[in-house]
């Protein structure tokens, strides 16, 4: 079995390499965080801090925000990679079932494939993460100590050495997270009739889509309930404390609504692309209709492409809406903050966005052969290379629009919460939404999706359709 799994990876190594690169990049970050946590929690570090009159736990508290962002990044990227791996090989394992493989064997092979691909990507990530931790972790602790009220004084931390425990933990966490992302798709793929799977993704619609709607609806209901209840708990006499509580509530509301979008993503993508198809039909854009219909047929894989981009737009919008609105409320209340430093917020948001873009590019790379097959089939049916190029542009536009729409839902709920809280605290609306940044996010998503898909299609558009069909 393992021999056949290795053969699947070797048959399209260029398509699998970007996904392994994403796993490696995430593992580097996780390795650095685990090394930092174990070092600052060690007995030697705590004793050295105590001798200098410092509380060693303050270093961990300063790092908590980074831990949270890296954890969200790891869950979002690695589960998407695991799910996309299953979707990429669904037809292959359907052929196995037609040849006599049992659902249990198919499920085991899918788990082995995801586990092997994530392990191959995580191992170099652990090695590079351990090397980089020797430089980054001491520097970060020195920078964090400079922000303490009294500084660090004569504090001399013990020498830092990368921990084997941290590397092992990062390796296990990365592989297990990928397997968790593949768990339900693998179970569903093993139960689908092989004839249905061979007909293509459009024929393999989940019969349990109601489960996604139910869980997503519950998360969204919790977010709405928190947004409604928070303004009633604020005290206008204590603006500073109430504004901080508003920011904390906005973080929870944004996280819950983003979770709802993530869970219901495939179903939402199918609905959004169906709506886009109808709109383009009314506008009489034939190539756009074909593009939207094609994207809807690949809704499961496209949901994996869109999910990280929507998460990046939503997270960035929530963070900057909450932070900017906090500054606006404090200014309206008569307590303006002079020269606020939002560099750390911008850096963390930028890191998340870069990793989200890399994850989406990796998912598109996995579906490269399917795209080549589709484009060459359309050319064999009479489409010209120019029309196929327009189809790629329209399809990337529809996907970017879906990502932006899904990402705006958490931002809209947070904006509603901020408006209600600002009216309760200062009697007027104090809201700051980064519209320019959100518009730039949509344009970047569109450009990235178009550039990656067009770069895959371009070599085959210059050849005969028969060559593309033989390759696919």
Domain ranges, ordered by start, for the chain: 1-149+157-204, 206-472
CA distance 302 to 313: 17
pLDDT tens profile 355-376 = 888 888 888 888 766 777 777 7
48-75: pLDDT as tens digits: 878 877 776 666 666 777 787 788 888 8
Predicted pLDDT of residue 201: 52
Per-residue model confidence (pLDDT) at position 364: 86
Q: What pLDDT shows up at residue 50?
A: 81
Place of tokens 């889509």: 209
Residues 6+ apart with CB under 8 A from 462: 385
Strand (E) or helix (H) holding 116: helix 103-146
Tokens 């196929």 belong to residue: 388
> From residue 188, how far is each of 112, 194, 215, 338, 435 by CA, in Å?
16, 12, 18, 55, 39
| Residue 28 structure tokens | 């580097």
Q: How far apart, in whole angstroms, are the C-alpha atoms of residue 349 and residue 345?
A: 6
CA distances from 152 to 17, 33, 50 (A): 44, 21, 11
Question: What length is written for the chain?
Answer: 472
Structure-token pair, residue 188: 């569903």
Sign, Cα dihedral of 92, 94, 95, 96? positive
Is 367 within 8 Å of 299 (Cβ atoms)?
no
pTM of the model: 0.81
Angle, alpha carbons 151-152-153 (nearest 5°): 100
Nearest C-alpha neighbor of 405 from the set 290, 317, 468: 317
Cβ-based neighbour number of residue 183 at 10 Å:
18
Between CA 295 and CA 396 the distance in angstroms is 9
Cα(88)–Cα(232) distance, integer angstroms: 49
Which residues of the chain have a pLDDT value below 50? 202-204, 206
Non-local (6+) Cβ contacts of 182 within 8 A are 82, 83, 85, 86, 110, 111, 114
């Amino acid at each position: 079995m393992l021999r056949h799994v290795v053969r699947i990876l070797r048959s399209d190594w260029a398509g699998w390499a970007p996904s392994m690169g994403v796993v490696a990049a995430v593992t580097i970050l996780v390795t650095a965080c685990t090394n930092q946590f174990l070092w600052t929690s060690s007995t030697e570090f705590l004793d050295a801090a105590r001798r200098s009159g410092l509380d060693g736990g303050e270093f961990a508290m300063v790092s908590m925000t980074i831990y949270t962002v890296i954890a969200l990044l790891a869950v979002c990227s690695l589960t998407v990679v695991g799910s996309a791996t299953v979707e990429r090989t669904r037809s292959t394992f359907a052929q196995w079932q037609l040849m006599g493989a049992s659902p249990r064997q198919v499920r085991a092979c899918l788990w082995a494939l995801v586990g092997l691909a994530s392990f191959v990507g995580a191992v170099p990530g652990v090695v590079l993460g351990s090397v980089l931790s020797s430089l980054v972790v001491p520097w970060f602790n020195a920078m964090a100590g400079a922000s303490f009220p009294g500084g660090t004084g004569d504090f001399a931390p013990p020498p830092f050495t990368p921990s084997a425990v941290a590397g092992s933990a990062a390796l296990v966490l990365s592989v297990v997270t990928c397997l968790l992302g593949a768990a339900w798709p693998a179970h569903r793929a093993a139960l689908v009739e092989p004839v249905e799977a061979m007909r293509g993704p459009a024929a393999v619609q989940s019969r349990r889509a109601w489960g996604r709607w139910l869980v997503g609806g519950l998360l969204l209901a919790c977010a709405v309930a928190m947004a409604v209840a928070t303004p009633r708990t604020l005290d206008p006499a204590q603006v500073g404390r109430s504004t901080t509580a508003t920011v904390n509530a906005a973080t929870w509301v944004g996280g819950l609504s983003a979770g709802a979008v993530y869970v219901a993503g495939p179903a939402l993508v199918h609905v959004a692309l169906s709506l886009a198809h109808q709109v383009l039909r009314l506008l009489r854009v034939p190539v756009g209709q074909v593009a939207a219909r094609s994207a809807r047929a690949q809704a499961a894989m496209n949901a994996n492409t869109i999910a990280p981009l929507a998460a990046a737009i939503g997270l960035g919008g929530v963070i900057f809406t909450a932070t900017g609105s906090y500054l606006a409320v404090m200014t309206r209340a008569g307590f303006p903050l002079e020269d606020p430093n939002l560099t750390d917020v911008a850096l963390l948001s930028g890191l998340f966005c870069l990793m989200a873009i890399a994850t989406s590019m990796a998912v598109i790379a996995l579906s490269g052969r399917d795209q080549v097959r589709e484009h060459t089939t359309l050319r064999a049916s009479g489409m010209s290379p120019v029309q196929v190029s327009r189809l790629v542009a329209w399809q990337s536009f529809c996907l970017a629009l879906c990502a932006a729409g899904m990402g705006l839902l958490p931002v809209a709920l947070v904006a509603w919460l901020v408006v209600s809280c600002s009216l309760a605290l200062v009697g007027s609306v104090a809201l700051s939404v980064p519209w320019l940044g959100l518009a730039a996010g949509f344009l970047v998503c569109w450009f990235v999706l178009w550039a990656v898909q067009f770069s895959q299609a371009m070599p085959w558009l210059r050849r005969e359709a028969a060559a593309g069909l033989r390759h696919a």
